Each structure stands twice: as structure tokens, then as C-alpha cells.
Chain A
């Protein structure tokens, strides 16, 4: 079962990546690592990889900071936590494509909710989806809007597992709320932080539906991530072999990134994760 669901598609993608398989041209010939070689000298590959990294790091970084702040706020709150948690989790349960459509209607130039509101207030807004810088920022915000609640939920659960005796001892020693957070609580939930960051990093690297609906990778290639490039190769240019190679490269890259992250965080505590 595991082989059918997981290993066969992966193995098949690796196998296809060794062929010049072009559905539009009808070619199917073995070229070994030719697709990998072509991608590694392809400027668009490096551009999309760099852009993906920037967008992923910005989005996950923002989600973590916001998530931590809100989770800590909830932790200190003495009433209404359940209701707030439930309300804040709503964006995460909306289908990404539907969420992206909502966001498109908010951010679209001139007619969008945000632009129209700003114009109503006498402020002429920037072109949120048409200007390269704003488009990237909007994409990051869109991801943060949808996935910060996940961070909040996990971090809030983590903060609640911290040993109360440690907290009380720190408070007796005069620790303030921020010192309590950064010196006592965060080190205590470090495995959970690595876990949630790793999950979100892997997930954000597959970032596709929201960008596809919001900007289609544009303007130009301003928000074209590696998954959008893979999609273009497979479904627009019909270069199935090259697209498979790009999928494999992405997998290797994400795996390496997570491995480095775990190694950095646990460099003094090998075997802890």
C-alpha cells in the first residue's frame, strides 16, 4: 500500500526525469541526467528557486512571529480563549483556491475591496497585484493570512506544555513577561518550533494554488515560484521529463533545507529530534 501510494509515483517521476519526454512534440528518448543538467544551467530555474526561497522565508517568518505573539497573548488571556482560537482558525479551514479568490477580490486594483476603500478615503492605492514588489508582498500576506492560525494553534498548545514550576521559579526571580517567553518558554518548546517550521517550510515550498489564482506568477515572473514553473513546464510547454526533473530537484532541495535546519537547531543536542 505504502509502495503504491508513495514510492511508485516518486519512482515514476524519477524515471520520467531521465527522458526527453515532450508530449507536444511526441518525443520520448533516454537522456540520462540531461534534464537535470539543462535545469541547472537554466536561469529561470535559479530565478524561481531564489524567488521561492524569498517568498517562503518571508511568509513562514511572518507566520511564526505573528503566531508566537498571538499564541503568547492567548496563553496569558484568562477568558474567551476557546472562542478566539476557533475564530482565528477559520482562514485555515477554507480551501486555498476559495481563500485566494476572496483575497483576489480584496487586492485587485481599482475595483478591489482594499483599493476601493482607500480611494473612498482619498488615498490612491498602489497596484497590489500589478506591481512586482507589491505582488510579492501580497502573496506573502495571503499565505500568512491563511496559515498563521496553524502556527498559533501549535505554538499555543506548546506553550501550555511548559513546566509551571519553571515559570513560577522565573517569576520569583523577577523575570518579566518577555524574558519569561524568550528565556524559559521558547527553549522549552524548541522541538515543537522546529517541527512546526519544518512542516510550514515544506508546505510553503509547494505554494501553488494561492499564487495561481492571485497573480498566475506575474507580473512577468515576479511571483513565479518553483511549483508554478514546474506547472508551466508540464502543462504549457508539455515537457514532462523536464518537469519531473524539476519536481525531483525541488524534493531534494526541501529535504536538504530541512536537514540543515534540524542540524543547526540541534547542533549541540544531536539525537534530540
Chain B
């Protein structure tokens, strides 16, 4: 009989995992727990997961991305088995893998290659989720930030969509009014603010980091980029500093904003008559000067799950099989070749051309496992600059110093 051992790690683990454990529904025996970010396409996939494998009960918990990542991080850092299937995107999966929190999927991928037609996923997409030669995530979406604009208003004013960010700034200013903001900005830390800052730093600046992961976003061009961003936010909607994608989507739908950067996954909702007052009035182009964020979402299996890996893989793979992905194709850019090339789908979804153009001109966030953690410093300092609490240069320098200190503490720059 083994003795009960209470270690330091187990106490901290229990403390940190408490919210995850208590936040979940009572864990019925055999119930598979899935935690995910929430937007319409992921809601569709969650529904498919619930009925994917007969006899397997899947409890899906969907929430805003910051909450989902927090919950996942707390549970997995304490090696808790309270999450079996988890949301992962092209950026945060690196963090999870580096910490040993995900189960490699190569064996299961090979086993189920034919059954789920897994070769239909392009090699480039699979590579996105590969770390040290091992695959960790089954892709569910391709996503790109597009430039949303009110075509009806642009047409009435005889204006064309902006070709540069400074044109965007000027147009936002000219369209701005108290009841309808010229620009729709989503700058809630961390994820939403990263999305926008990424565009400015890459289109107008030199990017985030050099090849050794030293911050370069605080260089002269980076400072200039955030100065332009600051000018644009003068035409932004109320509450932009706390707005994430949901709030920005609603701002467009309720006719409270004219233009801005937003994910392709939000395009279809513009034409939903049950929710939108601007059906048919929004159009999309690739973001001016390119370099906006592209990303992909998918699902991974926790390394600490006690559930049968085959069942978990089948649940994830079933939700992203060709038929189910076709069902979500109006909400995302589907990552299966057969669907990307489907002319019928392209015709049925009027945002596809802009989404594909945005994907071609966009770029992912840096493949730094600690990117979301340093993003916490950077985005808060950027917001201090935008709200006038600190000069832009000082804010970016402070963020760069905090980032350097943090990464140094994590073994970088040796």
C-alpha cells in the first residue's frame, strides 16, 4: 500500500488548479472535459465534439480567449487532469509544448490518416503546429485579420478603401462622429491588443524582436508606428481599451463604427439579420500595407489527461472532418485543401477573396513560447501610451526593459 505523500508541488498545484476544478462542472466519471476560446466557428466545432463519438460524453466549456488561456495555463501548469481537450492556436501551442503540457499526436495522426483524410490538411498548416518535428494540434481554422469598412458610406462619400495606414488614419478622422466612430479598435490586453499592435509594428516598424529575441519594437520606427496608432484611436469607439473581438463585432453590427481591423471569423456575422443592423453594408479588403496577423486555431490533447487518447483524437478529428468543416466554412477559412479550393464555397461566402488576400499578405506573431507573457507587459504599456498616461517612447522602452528582464530570467540571451 503506497503512503500518502503531500509534496510542495502538489500543494501549489492544488491551490492553483482549484479555479479550474471548481469552475468546471462536477466531473462525472468518464466525462471528457474540453476548454476552448469562443467564437461562432469554435461553437460549431464544440457542438460537433459533443456528438462525435457515441457513448463519450464531452463537456465543452467555451469562453473569451484570455479566460480560456488562463484556465488552461492554471490547470496544466499544476499537471491537473481536469482538462482533456484544449484549444491551442499557432502562438500559444508553443508555450504549452515548451512546458511539456501537450501530448504529441504523430502516432494517432498516422493511425487515423486515412479514416479522417488527414492528408487533406496542407503541409504548411501542419508545420504551423509542429515543434521539434512533432505534431501537437489538429487544425480547425485558418484565420486572417481583414480590413472591415462600411462600403455604403465609402460609396456615398466617393472614397476608396485605404491603401496605407496613414490613409486609414485620415479616413477614420473624416468619418468620425459622436454616434459612429471613424475607427473600430480592439485593444483589450493581451490577445486583442497584440493583434492590432502586431500590424502597426510590422507594417510601419521593424517588427517585435531581432533574431536573438531582443526587443526591437521600441526602435524609432516602432515608436512612430504607435504614434500613428495613437492618432487613429482618437477616432475610435468608446471603450476601445477594453474591447476584444466580441465588443468590436457588436460595434460594427450596431452601426457604431466605420472601419478597422478584424478577424475573418467575424465577417459572416455582419450579414446576420438577427444580430446586425448593417446587413450587406460591410465590405472587406486586405489590411493596408499588409503584415496584419494571421493565425490558426485547433485542438490538442493534454499530456496529463487520463482519458483514452484514441477517443480524444477521434473526437477532435471528427469535429474537423470534411463534412463538419464544410459546415463551418461560412465562419472561417477552412484549413482543408479540398475546401479552400472549393469554388462553390468561395462563391457563397463573399468575404473569401479578402480573407485569402489578407492571409497571403499577413504574418503570424513571433514563434516565441513566452510571447503571451511578455505581451502582457507590452500591451499594457502601449495602452498607457495611447491613453496619454506615458509618452510613447517611454512606454515602449519600459516594455522593452520588462520584456528583456523576463526573457533573461527564462534562459534567453546566454
Contact = CB atoms under 8 A, between A and B. Distances in A.
Interface of A: 12, 16, 21-26, 28, 43-44, 108-111, 115, 119, 124, 127, 129-132, 215-222, 224, 232, 234-238, 240
A231 B245 CA distance: 24
Interface string B87-128: 000000001000100000000000000000000000000000
Given A109-B239, A240-B12, A216 B387 contact: no
B241 interface: yes
A109 B381 CA distance: 22
28 contacts: A16-B12, A23-B12, A24-B73, A24-B77, A24-B95, A25-B410, A109-B237, A110-B237, A111-B254, A130-B239, A130-B242, A130-B387, A132-B387, A217-B380, A219-B387, A220-B380, A220-B387, A220-B389, A221-B380, A221-B389, A222-B389, A224-B380, A232-B376, A235-B70, A237-B373, A237-B376, A238-B77, A238-B373
Interface residues of B, number: 45
A4 to B, nearest CB: 13
B238 A109 contact: yes
A218 B376 contact: no
B178 interface: yes
Interface of A is mostly: loop
B85 to A, nearest CB: 21
Interface of B is mostly: helix
Interface of B: 8, 11-12, 16, 70, 73-74, 77-78, 95, 99, 178-179, 188-190, 237-242, 250, 254, 256, 370, 373, 376, 380-390, 398, 402, 406, 409-411
Contacts of B188: 216, 218
B16 A129 contact: no
Contact of A220 (B237, B241, B411): B241
Contact of A219 (B11, B242, B370, B406): B242
Contact of B238 (A16, A23, A115, A240): A115
Nearest to B250: A111
Nearest to A214: B242
Contacts of B240: 130
Contact of A218 (B12, B383, B409, B411): B383
B233 to A, nearest CB: 10
